[in-house]
Amino acid sequence: MMKDKKYLLIPGPTPVPPRVVEAMSRPIIGHRSAEFQGVMERVTGKLKKIFQTENHVFVMGSSGTGALETAVVNLVSPGDKVLALSGGKFGERFAELAKLYGGEVIFEDFGWGYDIDLNVVKKQLDANPDIKVVLATQNETSTGVQNDIKALGKLVAQYDAVLAVDAVSGLGAIDLKTDEWNVDVVCSGSQKAFMLPPGLAFISVSDKAWAKIEKNTTPNYYFSLLKARKNIAKWNTTYTTPVSMVYGLDAALDMILEEGLDNVFARHALLAKATRAGIQGLGLELLVPDEYASLAVTAVQAPMVVDADTLRKVLLKEYGVTFAGGQDMMKGKIFRIAHMGYADKMDVIIALASLEMALGKCGYKAELGAGVREAQMVFVGGEHA
Protein backbone atom coordinates (compact mmCIF):
# COMPACT_ATOMS: atom_id res chain seq x y z
CA MET A 1 0.00 0.00 0.00
CA MET A 2 1.22 3.53 -0.75
CA LYS A 3 1.54 5.21 2.62
CA ASP A 4 0.63 8.70 1.44
CA LYS A 5 -2.47 7.72 -0.56
CA LYS A 6 -5.40 8.71 1.63
CA TYR A 7 -9.17 8.85 1.28
CA LEU A 8 -10.70 11.28 3.74
CA LEU A 9 -14.36 10.40 4.11
CA ILE A 10 -15.25 12.17 7.36
CA PRO A 11 -17.89 14.90 7.79
CA GLY A 12 -15.32 17.65 8.09
CA PRO A 13 -12.73 18.59 7.39
CA THR A 14 -13.34 17.32 3.88
CA PRO A 15 -11.01 17.13 0.85
CA VAL A 16 -10.14 20.44 -0.80
CA PRO A 17 -10.21 20.64 -4.62
CA PRO A 18 -6.94 21.60 -6.40
CA ARG A 19 -8.59 24.76 -7.78
CA VAL A 20 -9.23 25.95 -4.23
CA VAL A 21 -5.72 25.04 -3.04
CA GLU A 22 -4.29 26.96 -5.98
CA ALA A 23 -6.39 30.04 -5.21
CA MET A 24 -5.19 29.93 -1.62
CA SER A 25 -1.55 30.03 -2.64
CA ARG A 26 -1.79 33.55 -4.08
CA PRO A 27 0.42 36.18 -2.41
CA ILE A 28 -1.12 37.80 0.65
CA ILE A 29 -2.45 41.34 0.30
CA GLY A 30 -3.49 43.76 3.03
CA HIS A 31 -6.89 42.96 4.48
CA ARG A 32 -7.79 46.66 4.44
CA SER A 33 -6.64 47.27 0.86
CA ALA A 34 -9.04 48.36 -1.87
CA GLU A 35 -8.19 45.16 -3.72
CA PHE A 36 -9.23 42.99 -0.80
CA GLN A 37 -12.41 45.00 -0.27
CA GLY A 38 -13.28 44.07 -3.85
CA VAL A 39 -12.67 40.40 -3.11
CA MET A 40 -14.85 40.56 0.02
CA GLU A 41 -17.66 42.28 -1.83
CA ARG A 42 -17.57 39.66 -4.56
CA VAL A 43 -17.36 36.76 -2.10
CA THR A 44 -20.19 38.08 0.05
CA GLY A 45 -22.42 38.40 -3.00
CA LYS A 46 -21.75 34.76 -3.90
CA LEU A 47 -22.23 33.58 -0.32
CA LYS A 48 -25.67 35.17 -0.29
CA LYS A 49 -26.59 32.95 -3.23
CA ILE A 50 -25.55 29.85 -1.29
CA PHE A 51 -27.46 31.06 1.77
CA GLN A 52 -30.36 31.98 -0.55
CA THR A 53 -30.79 35.26 1.26
CA GLU A 54 -30.86 39.01 0.87
CA ASN A 55 -29.55 39.27 4.45
CA HIS A 56 -25.92 40.13 4.97
CA VAL A 57 -23.62 37.13 5.39
CA PHE A 58 -20.64 37.78 7.65
CA VAL A 59 -17.35 35.97 7.11
CA MET A 60 -15.43 35.29 10.31
CA GLY A 61 -12.07 33.82 11.15
CA SER A 62 -13.09 30.93 13.40
CA SER A 63 -14.33 27.36 13.23
CA GLY A 64 -18.05 26.63 13.01
CA THR A 65 -18.52 26.77 16.76
CA GLY A 66 -17.50 30.44 16.57
CA ALA A 67 -20.58 31.07 14.43
CA LEU A 68 -22.76 29.27 16.97
CA GLU A 69 -21.25 31.32 19.79
CA THR A 70 -21.76 34.48 17.72
CA ALA A 71 -25.44 33.63 17.36
CA VAL A 72 -25.79 33.07 21.10
CA VAL A 73 -23.81 36.04 22.46
CA ASN A 74 -25.71 38.40 20.17
CA LEU A 75 -29.20 36.94 20.50
CA VAL A 76 -29.44 35.56 24.03
CA SER A 77 -29.48 38.04 26.91
CA PRO A 78 -29.26 36.72 30.47
CA GLY A 79 -32.68 35.44 31.56
CA ASP A 80 -34.02 35.05 28.00
CA LYS A 81 -36.07 31.94 27.50
CA VAL A 82 -34.47 29.77 24.80
CA LEU A 83 -35.94 26.64 23.21
CA ALA A 84 -33.06 24.37 22.22
CA LEU A 85 -34.02 21.50 19.88
CA SER A 86 -31.53 18.66 20.00
CA GLY A 87 -30.99 15.23 18.54
CA GLY A 88 -27.27 14.80 19.02
CA LYS A 89 -23.90 16.30 19.82
CA PHE A 90 -24.32 19.58 17.99
CA GLY A 91 -27.84 20.26 19.22
CA GLU A 92 -26.43 19.77 22.72
CA ARG A 93 -23.59 22.18 22.00
CA PHE A 94 -25.95 24.97 20.91
CA ALA A 95 -27.97 24.46 24.11
CA GLU A 96 -24.82 24.47 26.27
CA LEU A 97 -23.73 27.77 24.77
CA ALA A 98 -27.12 29.35 25.45
CA LYS A 99 -26.98 28.13 29.06
CA LEU A 100 -23.42 29.37 29.51
CA TYR A 101 -24.43 32.90 28.55
CA GLY A 102 -27.36 32.99 30.98
CA GLY A 103 -30.22 31.80 28.79
CA GLU A 104 -33.09 30.08 30.56
CA VAL A 105 -32.92 27.02 28.33
CA ILE A 106 -35.79 24.63 27.65
CA PHE A 107 -33.82 21.65 26.40
CA GLU A 108 -35.99 19.57 24.09
CA ASP A 109 -34.11 16.36 23.46
CA PHE A 110 -35.54 14.17 20.70
CA GLY A 111 -32.83 11.57 21.21
CA TRP A 112 -29.70 10.73 19.24
CA GLY A 113 -30.77 9.49 15.83
CA TYR A 114 -34.16 11.22 15.81
CA ASP A 115 -35.36 14.34 14.06
CA ILE A 116 -37.22 17.34 15.45
CA ASP A 117 -40.89 16.69 16.22
CA LEU A 118 -42.76 19.83 15.18
CA ASN A 119 -45.76 19.00 17.36
CA VAL A 120 -43.50 19.19 20.40
CA VAL A 121 -42.05 22.48 19.20
CA LYS A 122 -45.52 23.94 18.70
CA LYS A 123 -46.59 22.82 22.17
CA GLN A 124 -43.55 24.48 23.73
CA LEU A 125 -44.06 27.72 21.81
CA ASP A 126 -47.74 27.84 22.77
CA ALA A 127 -47.01 27.06 26.42
CA ASN A 128 -44.15 29.58 26.58
CA PRO A 129 -45.03 32.68 24.57
CA ASP A 130 -42.01 34.40 26.14
CA ILE A 131 -39.54 32.16 24.27
CA LYS A 132 -37.13 34.61 22.65
CA VAL A 133 -34.89 32.30 20.64
CA VAL A 134 -35.26 28.84 19.08
CA LEU A 135 -32.06 26.92 18.35
CA ALA A 136 -31.97 24.03 15.88
CA THR A 137 -29.55 21.97 13.80
CA GLN A 138 -30.10 21.50 10.07
CA ASN A 139 -27.84 18.47 9.63
CA GLU A 140 -26.99 16.69 12.90
CA THR A 141 -23.56 15.42 11.96
CA SER A 142 -23.22 13.13 14.96
CA THR A 143 -26.12 10.94 13.80
CA GLY A 144 -26.71 11.73 10.13
CA VAL A 145 -30.15 13.18 10.75
CA GLN A 146 -31.50 15.96 8.57
CA ASN A 147 -34.18 18.18 10.08
CA ASP A 148 -37.05 19.78 8.20
CA ILE A 149 -35.97 23.40 8.49
CA LYS A 150 -38.60 24.56 6.01
CA ALA A 151 -41.42 23.36 8.26
CA LEU A 152 -39.67 24.57 11.41
CA GLY A 153 -39.17 28.05 9.90
CA LYS A 154 -42.81 28.25 8.93
CA LEU A 155 -43.86 27.34 12.46
CA VAL A 156 -41.49 29.63 14.38
CA ALA A 157 -42.34 32.58 12.09
CA GLN A 158 -45.80 32.62 13.68
CA TYR A 159 -44.28 33.57 17.04
CA ASP A 160 -42.07 36.39 18.31
CA ALA A 161 -39.10 34.05 18.72
CA VAL A 162 -36.06 34.30 16.49
CA LEU A 163 -34.94 31.07 14.79
CA ALA A 164 -31.20 30.34 14.69
CA VAL A 165 -30.04 27.29 12.74
CA ASP A 166 -26.72 25.49 12.93
CA ALA A 167 -26.09 24.66 9.28
CA VAL A 168 -22.36 24.05 9.77
CA SER A 169 -22.34 20.66 8.07
CA GLY A 170 -25.34 21.04 5.78
CA LEU A 171 -25.21 24.37 4.01
CA GLY A 172 -24.02 23.92 0.44
CA ALA A 173 -24.99 20.23 0.45
CA ILE A 174 -28.62 20.34 1.55
CA ASP A 175 -31.16 22.94 0.48
CA LEU A 176 -31.74 25.77 2.94
CA LYS A 177 -33.72 28.73 1.63
CA THR A 178 -32.91 31.23 4.35
CA ASP A 179 -35.39 33.95 3.39
CA GLU A 180 -38.20 31.86 1.96
CA TRP A 181 -38.15 29.55 4.99
CA ASN A 182 -37.89 32.39 7.55
CA VAL A 183 -34.61 31.36 9.11
CA ASP A 184 -33.37 34.40 11.03
CA VAL A 185 -29.82 33.34 11.73
CA VAL A 186 -27.91 30.72 9.75
CA CYS A 187 -24.49 29.56 10.93
CA SER A 188 -22.05 27.64 8.78
CA GLY A 189 -18.37 26.75 8.47
CA SER A 190 -15.78 26.35 5.77
CA GLN A 191 -14.53 22.79 6.19
CA LYS A 192 -17.57 20.75 5.17
CA ALA A 193 -19.70 21.29 2.07
CA PHE A 194 -17.82 24.49 1.23
CA MET A 195 -14.75 22.40 0.28
CA LEU A 196 -12.29 24.58 2.18
CA PRO A 197 -9.89 23.87 5.02
CA PRO A 198 -11.14 24.61 8.55
CA GLY A 199 -10.84 28.25 9.60
CA LEU A 200 -13.77 30.31 8.35
CA ALA A 201 -17.29 30.61 9.68
CA PHE A 202 -20.27 32.32 8.11
CA ILE A 203 -23.39 33.80 9.65
CA SER A 204 -26.44 35.50 8.15
CA VAL A 205 -28.78 37.74 10.13
CA SER A 206 -32.39 38.75 9.35
CA ASP A 207 -34.13 42.04 10.26
CA LYS A 208 -36.13 40.21 12.93
CA ALA A 209 -32.85 39.02 14.46
CA TRP A 210 -31.25 42.49 14.25
CA ALA A 211 -34.15 43.92 16.26
CA LYS A 212 -33.33 41.43 19.01
CA ILE A 213 -29.56 41.96 18.70
CA GLU A 214 -29.92 45.73 19.11
CA LYS A 215 -31.42 45.14 22.58
CA ASN A 216 -28.94 42.42 23.59
CA THR A 217 -27.23 42.80 26.97
CA THR A 218 -24.74 39.91 26.84
CA PRO A 219 -21.19 41.24 26.72
CA ASN A 220 -19.25 40.28 23.61
CA TYR A 221 -16.20 41.51 21.73
CA TYR A 222 -14.66 39.42 18.93
CA PHE A 223 -18.08 37.96 18.14
CA SER A 224 -20.00 41.27 18.17
CA LEU A 225 -22.37 41.45 15.23
CA LEU A 226 -23.09 45.13 15.88
CA LYS A 227 -19.40 45.93 15.40
CA ALA A 228 -19.29 43.68 12.34
CA ARG A 229 -22.32 45.46 10.88
CA LYS A 230 -20.54 48.82 11.15
CA ASN A 231 -17.85 47.44 8.86
CA ILE A 232 -20.08 46.11 6.11
CA ALA A 233 -19.70 49.27 4.04
CA LYS A 234 -15.94 48.74 4.07
CA TRP A 235 -16.49 45.09 3.09
CA ASN A 236 -14.38 44.00 5.97
CA THR A 237 -14.75 41.71 8.85
CA THR A 238 -13.89 43.65 11.98
CA TYR A 239 -10.52 42.04 12.60
CA THR A 240 -7.72 40.71 10.41
CA THR A 241 -9.44 38.53 7.86
CA PRO A 242 -7.83 35.19 6.90
CA VAL A 243 -6.93 36.49 3.43
CA SER A 244 -5.81 33.16 1.92
CA MET A 245 -8.94 31.41 3.10
CA VAL A 246 -11.08 34.09 1.48
CA TYR A 247 -9.24 33.54 -1.82
CA GLY A 248 -10.02 29.86 -1.45
CA LEU A 249 -13.63 30.66 -0.63
CA ASP A 250 -13.90 32.76 -3.77
CA ALA A 251 -12.82 29.77 -5.86
CA ALA A 252 -14.96 27.26 -3.95
CA LEU A 253 -18.05 29.42 -4.37
CA ASP A 254 -17.35 29.64 -8.10
CA MET A 255 -17.22 25.85 -8.26
CA ILE A 256 -20.55 25.52 -6.44
CA LEU A 257 -22.27 28.18 -8.52
CA GLU A 258 -20.85 26.84 -11.80
CA GLU A 259 -22.23 23.39 -10.97
CA GLY A 260 -25.50 25.05 -9.92
CA LEU A 261 -26.94 24.85 -6.42
CA ASP A 262 -29.72 22.47 -7.40
CA ASN A 263 -27.23 20.17 -9.12
CA VAL A 264 -25.03 20.24 -6.03
CA PHE A 265 -27.99 19.20 -3.87
CA ALA A 266 -28.93 16.50 -6.40
CA ARG A 267 -25.34 15.16 -6.37
CA HIS A 268 -25.43 14.90 -2.59
CA ALA A 269 -28.81 13.19 -2.73
CA LEU A 270 -27.51 10.65 -5.25
CA LEU A 271 -24.39 9.90 -3.20
CA ALA A 272 -26.46 9.48 -0.05
CA LYS A 273 -28.85 7.13 -1.83
CA ALA A 274 -26.01 5.01 -3.24
CA THR A 275 -24.22 4.88 0.12
CA ARG A 276 -27.38 3.76 1.90
CA ALA A 277 -28.14 1.17 -0.78
CA GLY A 278 -24.59 -0.17 -0.51
CA ILE A 279 -24.75 -0.44 3.27
CA GLN A 280 -28.01 -2.34 3.07
CA GLY A 281 -26.54 -4.54 0.37
CA LEU A 282 -23.96 -5.62 2.93
CA GLY A 283 -26.67 -6.51 5.42
CA LEU A 284 -25.70 -3.66 7.76
CA GLU A 285 -28.16 -1.46 9.62
CA LEU A 286 -28.45 2.26 8.97
CA LEU A 287 -28.87 4.42 12.07
CA VAL A 288 -31.71 6.53 10.68
CA PRO A 289 -34.59 5.84 8.31
CA ASP A 290 -34.73 7.29 4.78
CA GLU A 291 -37.42 9.76 5.82
CA TYR A 292 -35.00 12.06 7.65
CA ALA A 293 -31.60 10.73 6.59
CA SER A 294 -28.88 13.26 5.89
CA LEU A 295 -27.81 13.85 2.31
CA ALA A 296 -24.30 14.73 3.53
CA VAL A 297 -23.30 11.98 5.97
CA THR A 298 -24.49 8.43 6.58
CA ALA A 299 -24.31 6.78 10.01
CA VAL A 300 -24.06 2.99 10.06
CA GLN A 301 -24.52 0.67 13.02
CA ALA A 302 -21.54 -1.61 13.43
CA PRO A 303 -22.49 -5.31 13.32
CA MET A 304 -22.67 -6.98 16.77
CA VAL A 305 -19.37 -8.80 16.24
CA VAL A 306 -17.45 -5.68 15.22
CA ASP A 307 -16.32 -2.67 17.23
CA ALA A 308 -16.74 0.38 14.98
CA ASP A 309 -13.47 1.92 16.09
CA THR A 310 -11.48 -1.28 15.42
CA LEU A 311 -13.04 -1.38 11.99
CA ARG A 312 -12.00 2.21 11.36
CA LYS A 313 -8.43 1.42 12.37
CA VAL A 314 -8.32 -1.45 9.87
CA LEU A 315 -9.75 0.79 7.15
CA LEU A 316 -7.07 3.37 7.72
CA LYS A 317 -4.15 0.98 8.14
CA GLU A 318 -4.98 -1.37 5.27
CA TYR A 319 -6.63 0.94 2.75
CA GLY A 320 -5.85 4.55 3.73
CA VAL A 321 -9.57 5.20 4.18
CA THR A 322 -10.86 7.34 7.04
CA PHE A 323 -14.46 7.13 8.23
CA ALA A 324 -15.66 9.04 11.29
CA GLY A 325 -16.53 7.17 14.45
CA GLY A 326 -19.45 7.65 16.79
CA GLN A 327 -19.30 10.47 19.33
CA ASP A 328 -20.14 10.27 23.03
CA MET A 329 -22.80 7.58 23.58
CA MET A 330 -22.41 6.34 20.00
CA LYS A 331 -18.67 5.67 20.37
CA GLY A 332 -17.74 2.22 19.09
CA LYS A 333 -21.34 1.59 18.02
CA ILE A 334 -21.55 3.48 14.76
CA PHE A 335 -19.30 4.73 12.01
CA ARG A 336 -20.09 7.61 9.70
CA ILE A 337 -19.33 7.93 6.01
CA ALA A 338 -19.34 11.45 4.65
CA HIS A 339 -20.37 12.31 1.12
CA MET A 340 -20.21 16.08 1.34
CA GLY A 341 -18.43 18.82 -0.52
CA TYR A 342 -15.83 17.66 -3.04
CA ALA A 343 -17.37 14.19 -3.20
CA ASP A 344 -18.41 12.11 -6.16
CA LYS A 345 -19.50 8.62 -7.19
CA MET A 346 -16.08 7.01 -6.90
CA ASP A 347 -15.77 8.17 -3.30
CA VAL A 348 -18.83 6.09 -2.49
CA ILE A 349 -17.40 3.11 -4.36
CA ILE A 350 -14.10 3.43 -2.47
CA ALA A 351 -15.98 3.69 0.83
CA LEU A 352 -18.01 0.55 0.18
CA ALA A 353 -15.24 -1.51 -1.42
CA SER A 354 -12.83 -0.84 1.45
CA LEU A 355 -15.59 -1.45 3.99
CA GLU A 356 -16.36 -4.86 2.49
CA MET A 357 -12.72 -5.92 2.79
CA ALA A 358 -12.23 -4.44 6.28
CA LEU A 359 -15.38 -6.09 7.63
CA GLY A 360 -13.97 -9.45 6.59
CA LYS A 361 -10.77 -8.74 8.52
CA CYS A 362 -12.89 -7.87 11.59
CA GLY A 363 -14.81 -11.14 11.52
CA TYR A 364 -17.98 -10.08 9.72
CA LYS A 365 -18.31 -11.96 6.48
CA ALA A 366 -19.61 -9.50 3.97
CA GLU A 367 -19.99 -10.78 0.45
CA LEU A 368 -17.39 -8.95 -1.59
CA GLY A 369 -19.01 -6.66 -4.12
CA ALA A 370 -22.47 -6.87 -2.55
CA GLY A 371 -22.43 -3.25 -1.35
CA VAL A 372 -20.52 -1.86 -4.29
CA ARG A 373 -22.98 -3.48 -6.66
CA GLU A 374 -25.99 -1.81 -5.02
CA ALA A 375 -24.30 1.57 -5.26
CA GLN A 376 -23.41 0.94 -8.89
CA MET A 377 -27.03 0.08 -9.57
CA VAL A 378 -28.06 3.45 -8.13
CA PHE A 379 -25.49 5.19 -10.32
CA VAL A 380 -26.23 3.44 -13.61
CA GLY A 381 -29.96 3.21 -13.00
CA GLY A 382 -31.65 1.08 -15.61
CA GLU A 383 -28.65 1.16 -17.96
CA HIS A 384 -27.57 -2.37 -17.03
CA ALA A 385 -31.01 -3.95 -17.06
**Which chain residues interact with ligand PLP by CB under 6 A?**
12, 63-65, 90, 137, 139, 141, 166, 168-169, 189, 198
Nearer to ligand PLP by Cβ, of 273 and 336: the residue is 336
Nearer to ligand PLP by Cβ, of 139 and 354: the residue is 139
Q: Which residues are 300's β-sheet partners?
A: 286, 335
- Gap between the Cα atoms of 359 and 92, Å rounded: 32
Q: Tell me the residue number closest to ligand PLP, measured at CB.
A: 64
Q: Please state the φ and ψ torsions of residue 49, each to the nearest 5 degrees.
A: -70, -40
| CB 6 to ligand PLP: min, Å | 19
| CB 294 to ligand PLP: min, Å | 10
Nearer to ligand PLP by Cβ, of 166 and 347: the residue is 166
| CB 167 to ligand PLP: min, Å | 8
Nearer to ligand PLP by Cβ, of 94 and 379: the residue is 94
Residue 160 has a CB neighbour count (10 Å cut-off) of 12
| CB 90 to ligand PLP: min, Å | 4
- CA-based radius of gyration for the chain: 21
| CB 46 to ligand PLP: min, Å | 21
Nearer to ligand PLP by Cβ, of 52 and 191: the residue is 191
| CB 339 to ligand PLP: min, Å | 14
Nearer to ligand PLP by Cβ, of 12 and 15: the residue is 12
| CB 11 to ligand PLP: min, Å | 6
Nearer to ligand PLP by Cβ, of 137 and 241: the residue is 137
Instruction: Note whether 253 and 159 are within 8 A (CB).
Output: no
3-state SS string over the chain? CCCCCCEECCCCCCCCCHHHHHHHCCCCCCCCCHHHHHHHHHHHHHHHHHHCCCCEEEEEECCHHHHHHHHHHHHCCCCCEEEEEECCHHHHHHHHHHHHCCCEEEEEECCCCCCCCHHHHHHHHHHCCCEEEEEEECEECCCCEECCHHHHHHHHCCCCCEEEEECCCCECCECCCCCCCCCCEEEEECCCCCCCCCCEEEEEECHHHHHHHCCCCCCCCCCCHHHHHHCHHHCCCCCCCCHHHHHHHHHHHHHHHHHCHHHHHHHHHHHHHHHHHHHHHCCCEECCCHHHECCCEEEEECCCCCCHHHHHHHHHHHHCEECEECCHHHCCCEEEEECCCCCCHHHHHHHHHHHHHHHHHCCCCCCCCHHHHHHHHHHHHHHHC
Instruction: Note whether 133 and 74 are within 8 A (CB).
Output: no
336 known member of a binding site = yes
| CB 249 to ligand PLP: min, Å | 15
Nearer to ligand PLP by Cβ, of 295 and 353: the residue is 295
| CB 256 to ligand PLP: min, Å | 18
State the Cα torsion 206-207-212-217 to the nearest 10°: 80
Residue 251 has a CB neighbour count (10 Å cut-off) of 21
Nearer to ligand PLP by Cβ, of 190 and 238: the residue is 190
Residue list, annotated binding site for substrate: 336
Residue list, annotated binding site: 336
